[in-house]
Chains A and B, each alone.
Chain A
Amino acid sequence: MRPLFTLLGRELALGWGRGGGPLPALAFYAAITVLLPLAAGPDTSRLAPVATGVAWMALALASLLSLERLFERDFEDGGLDLLMTGPMALELVCAVKCLAQWITTAGPLALAAPVAAVMLGAPLGSAPTILACALAGGLAFVFVGGIGAALALGARRGGLLVAAIVLPLFSPPVIFGGAALYADQLGSGAGGGLLLLLGWTAGAVALSPLAMAAACRNAVQ
């Protein structure tokens, strides 16, 4: 277990300290939130129906933003080769990296999501559901997004490529979370959608490290 915690500590330190930590993603998230009323008009009656949906969609986009650097730096400075020869399976290394990314970036974003939704006119009562969706969905976004980040290693125009690969794969969790938020808005209980989202997240956490590790091996060889 020791190497695992050492790696987690390193990833957390890098994720928190390097490049402003979660700040760029948070700033991006805030900017998208501001752009919606600017584009659609400040009228609350028009903003409120889509408030939770936009906050949720913007979260998916914002968690995409910092994915590129998930493996990129380790790939460039040779750290990835070292990690591959280390005592831990590469699958586990990838999972730990994603976990650290979730804690350092998706966590603060999840805290910002209810604020953004309420600012756009969502009722205060919807905040717990949004937070739950953002926490669970953030985990799914990081793990699925990690596949895209690993596949794009060594490719030209990596950032754009990650978005093109990953966004279609985000659709099931976005649908499930959206269903939960919509049901919550109607007052019929968010439980069903939330459970589907959690189930999908569990599947993603279990399976995507295999794809990430395969993609990393392919890139390093």
Chain B
Amino acid sequence: MVSFLTNPRSFMAFSRIAAPVLGVATACAFALGLYRTFTVPEDALHGDTVRMMFIHVPAAWLAMFSYACLGVASLLNLVFRQALADLAARACAPLGAAFTGLALVTGSLWGRPTWGTWWEWDGRMTSVLILFLLWLAYIALRAAIDDEARAARAGAILALVGMVNLPIIHFSVYWWNSLHQGSSTLGAAKGDGLPPVYGATLGIMGLAYLGLFGALWLTRIRTEVRLRRLRAAALRAAED
């Protein structure tokens, strides 16, 4: 099904439609989600600060999801030598770093009123910070190697090594004694889950973040493809 995406030309044709459509859908989802974020009733325990959840939690989801995307793209590049997969991995890195940074910053802002601290060295926060460092390492490694194909494969190896970190993030809540609360969505203990009005808003915001990531990623891959075409054209022109 996805095989037509491996060809740059058909990818460009696909993304030319898909990116703007996804962008418009994302804008609609954000409009609805943000409206609900500011109009849902206050929480009995958290008060107004519960609204931070709709900003923070989807960012943390996307931080992990984008790293999974990087891992899949890296695997496709490393094993199947898909050139487009490498462009996707390259385009993914700054986005993933941004979402991870957003999760850290909003988490810190939310932690201050609810926990009374900007930062606490608990398992989940620490491992998200490590995820952020992994993004930086990935970007630094790619930037330090001049040869494009070599940088692509070195980055892919590092990304796959870093994938080991993803399950640690997920299970860190259970591994370390933690200030960070457990999951309230999937796999929450009975009676500990979110009330439906919050759950729906969180879901809409999650979709909005996902759409934003998708639209930006597609656009960035398009830019990478064009950059490569430009470089190839410049090479040809220099040979003539």
Interface residue ranges, A against B (CB under 8 Å) = 147, 151-152, 154-158, 161, 164-165, 167-169, 171-172, 208, 211, 214-215, 218-219, 221
Contact = CB atoms under 8 A, between A and B. Distances in A.
A140 B127 CA distance: 19
Contacts of B140: 161, 164-165
Contacts of A168: 130, 133-134, 137, 162, 165
B146 interface: yes
Given A164-B136, A164-B137, A165-B137, A151 B150 contact: no
B157 A215 contact: yes
B105 interface: no
A47 to B, nearest CB: 20
Contacts of B130: 168, 171
Interface string B156-170: 011011100100100
Contacts of B161: 147, 169, 208, 211
A219 B146 contact: no
A174 B154 CA distance: 25
29 contacts: A151-B141, A151-B157, A152-B144, A154-B147, A154-B150, A161-B141, A161-B144, A164-B133, A164-B136, A165-B137, A165-B140, A165-B158, A167-B133, A168-B130, A168-B133, A168-B162, A168-B165, A169-B165, A171-B127, A172-B168, A211-B157, A211-B161, A214-B78, A214-B153, A214-B157, A218-B154, A218-B157, A219-B150, A219-B154
A125 B177 CA distance: 27
Contacts of B24: none
Contacts of A158: 144
Contacts of A161: 140-141, 144
Contacts of B141: 151-152, 155, 161, 164-165
Contact of A215 (B146, B154, B165): B154
Q: Is the interface of A mostly helix, strand, loop or mixed?
A: helix
B232 interface: no
Interface residues of B, number: 24
A131 to B, nearest CB: 25
Nearest to B151: A155
A171 B172 CA distance: 12
Contacts of A152: 141, 144
Given A156-B144, A164-B133, A214-B78, 9 more contacts: A156-B145, A164-B141, A165-B137, A165-B141, A165-B158, A214-B153, A218-B150, A219-B150, A219-B154
Contacts, number: 63
A168 B133 CA distance: 6
Interface string B117-159: 0000000001100100110110011001111001001100110
B145 A154 contact: yes
A169 B162 contact: yes
Contacts of A211: 157, 160-161
A157 B154 contact: no
B153 A218 contact: yes
A155 B130 CA distance: 23
A169 B130 CA distance: 8
A21 to B, nearest CB: 29
A83 B142 CA distance: 26
B150 A221 contact: yes
Contacts of A157: 144
A77 B130 CA distance: 35
Query: Of B133, B144, B153, B162, which is in contact with the most chain A CB atoms at under 10 Å from its CB?
Result: B144
B93 to A, nearest CB: 14
